[in-house]
């Protein structure tokens, strides 16, 4: 229908660039430690493992506060709650520039995770309020493209900021935190006035458009009443628990690679600035994959192949990067592996909305994301431990490949489980 296409296009242009920009800021703020560590480790007198532990405490704070944050978003609305999230994590990021010792670093990284908790699943929940299910895979893909752009922008930005060492009395690693924290605070105040909480509150939609969207979403959500009202009931839903376990491998591989890639490239013997610009390449490939794979998956009846096949390619390329000694080929395989890790994730996130809605969707999406993101905690501890144990910066790729392969196998189990339980009778049991 012409009305449908025009409406979806209008909503997409209104929401997705803005939400994507916020995610770009968020991703840079959580990943800036990968470049800051190139100087901060020596400045604070920490080992690689100790620094990895501190960096990974972000995910513990994230895990603890993710579900409560998303339930509060459902209560207070996206504009107010996202504004709170952005301002608080921006202030903590700025505070990281004044870190004096390892203990302070640990506390601030934990607080950063607590402050940012709820943003990513909050956006996923917001998409269920604005888009029919047949569009959500593509929308999540568009949203996640900004994570690739964040890595692409953050890489050269991190290198350039490190080279500002000494200007105005700040070390290079301090500039990394200062320059990436301030935009989050500014964006928080903009969000308060720009973002509409729900379609019915949107001034940019006509009454006819609001009615059409309301009717379409009500039709799709019919039969999901059992998951709508009680957010905490969703936390013990077997499908939510299985998807939480399944998702762990994807953030583990993603954070393990993105966190460690600047260290691998530094081992090639390049400068900080060249390191940053080389790190753009993998994320351009990721951005292309995040557009192509979800778009094709939205048109396909079976979704799981579009999650499993990219994961398999990613796992294979991670192994190849570790067994082939040539630096150029290593970098090429790591770039393809990054695309494989990320490409299927938007398709994965289209699955929960087939059996969750309302507060149940807010809690369920947050639970899956919070448990899954514990993979980031594991990655940022195990990867430097493997490096310290083996003396090799590339050896951790075997571990990431194994975790990604296991996640791909679990997706097959999820794919078989959800279709059998998404009919109206099953969802009201």
Distances (CA, A) of 26 to 117, 236, 323, 326, 347: 11, 29, 34, 34, 21
Task: Please provide residue 353's backbone torsions phi and psi, each rounded to the nearest 5 degrees.
Answer: -70, -5
Is a pLDDT exceeding 60 seen at residue 419? no
Tell me the mean pLDDT in the region 178-183. 91
Tell me the mean pLDDT in the region 297-314. 90
pTM, rounded to two decimals:
0.77
Residue 407 binned pLDDT confidence (cut-offs 50, 70, 90)? very high
Tell me the mean pLDDT in the region 289-310. 90
What pLDDT is attached to residue 229?
A: 46
| Ranges 176-185, 257-266, 359-368, most confident | 176-185
* 152-166, 173-187, 335-349: least confident range: 152-166
In the numeric block, the tokens 């800036």 are attached to 32
Share of the chain above pLDDT 90, in %: 31
194/14 Cα distance (integer angstroms): 10
Query: Contact at 8 Å (CB) between 368 and 213?
Result: no
In the numeric block, the tokens 């690693």 are attached to 173
- Structural domains of the chain in order of their starting residue, each with its CATH number: 2-427 (1.20.1250.20)
pLDDT tens, 390-403?
888 788 899 999 99
Residue 310 binned pLDDT confidence (cut-offs 50, 70, 90)? very high
Q: H/E/C letters for each residue in the chain?
A: CHHHHHHHHHHHHHHHHHHHHHHHHHHHHHHCHHHHHHHHHHHHCCCHHHHHHHHHHHHHHHHHHHHHHHHHHHHHCHHHHHHHHHHHHHHHHHHHCCCCCHHHHHHHHHHHHHHHCCHHHHHHHHHHHHCCHHHHHHHHHHHHHHHHHHHHHHHHHHHHHHCCCCHHHCCHHHHHHHHHHHHHHHHHHHHHHHCCCCHHHCCCCCHHHHHHHHHHHHHHHCCCHHHHCCHHHHCCCHHHHHHHHHHCHHHHHHHHHHHHHHHHHHCCCCCHHHHHHHCHHHHHHHHHHHHHHHHHHHCCCCCCHHHHHHHHHHHHHHHHHHHCCCHHHHHHHHHHHHHHHHHCHHHHHCCHHHCCCHHHHHHHHHHHHHHHCHHHHHHHHHHHHHHHHHCCCCCHHHHHHHHHHHHHHHHHHHHHHCHHHCCHHHHCC
Q: How many CA atoms lie within 13 A of 272 on its CB side?
A: 19
pLDDT tens, 199-211?
998 999 999 999 9
Token pair listed for 12? 């997409």
Tell me the mean pLDDT in the region 377-384. 81
Share the mean pLDDT of the chain: 84
What pLDDT is attached to residue 339?
A: 94
What pLDDT is attached to residue 244?
A: 84
Tell me the mean pLDDT in the region 187-191. 95
What pLDDT is attached to residue 311?
A: 95
Better-scored residue on pLDDT, 359 or 270: 270
Is a pLDDT exceeding 60 seen at residue 30? yes
Better-scored residue on pLDDT, 189 or 382: 189
User: Considering Cα of 32, then 147, then 252, then 260, what sign does the dihedral take?
Assistant: negative
Residue 308 binned pLDDT confidence (cut-offs 50, 70, 90)? very high
pLDDT tens, 116-157?
988 988 898 898 889 988 888 889 888 888 878 877 776 677
Query: Contact at 8 Å (CB) between 275 and 263?
Result: no
* 211-215, 314-318, 350-354: least confident range: 350-354
Sorted by sequence, the CB contacts under 8 Å of residue 324 that are 6+ apart come out as 330, 333
What pLDDT is attached to residue 223?
A: 53
Tell me the mean pLDDT in the region 74-87. 92
Query: Contact at 8 Å (CB) between 289 and 343?
Result: yes
What pLDDT is attached to residue 428?
A: 32
Better-scored residue on pLDDT, 338 or 66: 338
């Amino acid at each position: 229908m012409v009305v449908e296409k025009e409406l979806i296009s209008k909503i997409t242009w209104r929401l997705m660039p803005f939400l994507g920009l916020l995610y770009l800021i968020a991703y840079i703020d959580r990943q800036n430690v990968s470049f800051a560590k190139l100087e901060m480790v020596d400045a604070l007198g920490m080992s690689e493992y100790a620094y990895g532990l501190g960096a990974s405490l972000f995910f513990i704070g994230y895990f603890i506060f993710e579900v409560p944050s998303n339930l509060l978003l459902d209560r207070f609305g996206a504009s107010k709650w996202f504004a709170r999230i952005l301002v608080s994590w921006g202030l903590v990021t700025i505070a990281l520039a004044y870190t004096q010792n390892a203990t302070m670093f640990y506390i601030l990284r934990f607080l950063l995770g607590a402050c940012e908790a709820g943003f990513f699943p909050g956006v996923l929940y917001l998409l269920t309020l604005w888009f029919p299910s047949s569009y959500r895979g593509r929308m999540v893909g568009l949203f996640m493209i900004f994570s690739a752009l964040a890595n692409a922008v953050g890489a050269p930005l991190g290198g350039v900021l490190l080279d500002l060492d000494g200007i105005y009395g700040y070390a290079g690693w301090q500039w990394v935190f200062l320059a990436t924290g301030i935009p989050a605070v500014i964006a928080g105040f903009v969000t308060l006035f720009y973002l509409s909480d729900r379609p019915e509150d949107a001034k940019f939609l006509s009454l006819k458009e609001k009615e059409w969207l309301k009717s379409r979403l009500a039709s799709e959500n019919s039969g999901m009443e059992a998951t709508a009202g009680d957010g905490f009931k969703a936390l013990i839903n077997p499908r939510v628990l299985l998807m939480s376990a399944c998702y762990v491998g994807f953030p583990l591989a993603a954070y393990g690679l993105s966190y460690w890639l600047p260290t691998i490239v530094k081992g090639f013997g390049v400068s900080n600035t060249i390191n940053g610009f080389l790190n753009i390449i993998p994320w351009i490939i990721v951005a292309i994959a995040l557009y192509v794979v979800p778009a094709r998956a939205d048109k396909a009846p079976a979704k799981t192949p579009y999650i499993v096949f990219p994961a398999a390619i990613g796992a294979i390329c991670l192994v190849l990067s570790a067994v082939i000694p040539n630096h150029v080929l290593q970098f090429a395989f790591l770039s393809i592996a990054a695309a494989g890790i990320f490409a299927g994730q938007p398709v994965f996130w289209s699955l929960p909305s087939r059996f969750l809605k309302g507060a149940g969707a807010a809690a369920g999406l947050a639970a899956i994301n919070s448990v899954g993101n514990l993979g980031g905690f594991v990655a940022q501890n195990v990867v430097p431990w493997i490096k310290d144990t083996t003396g090799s910066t590339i050896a951790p790729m075997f571990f990431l490949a194994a975790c990604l392969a296991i996640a791909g196998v679990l997706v097959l189990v999820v794919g078989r489980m959800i279709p059998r339980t998404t009919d109206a009778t099953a969802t009201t049991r």
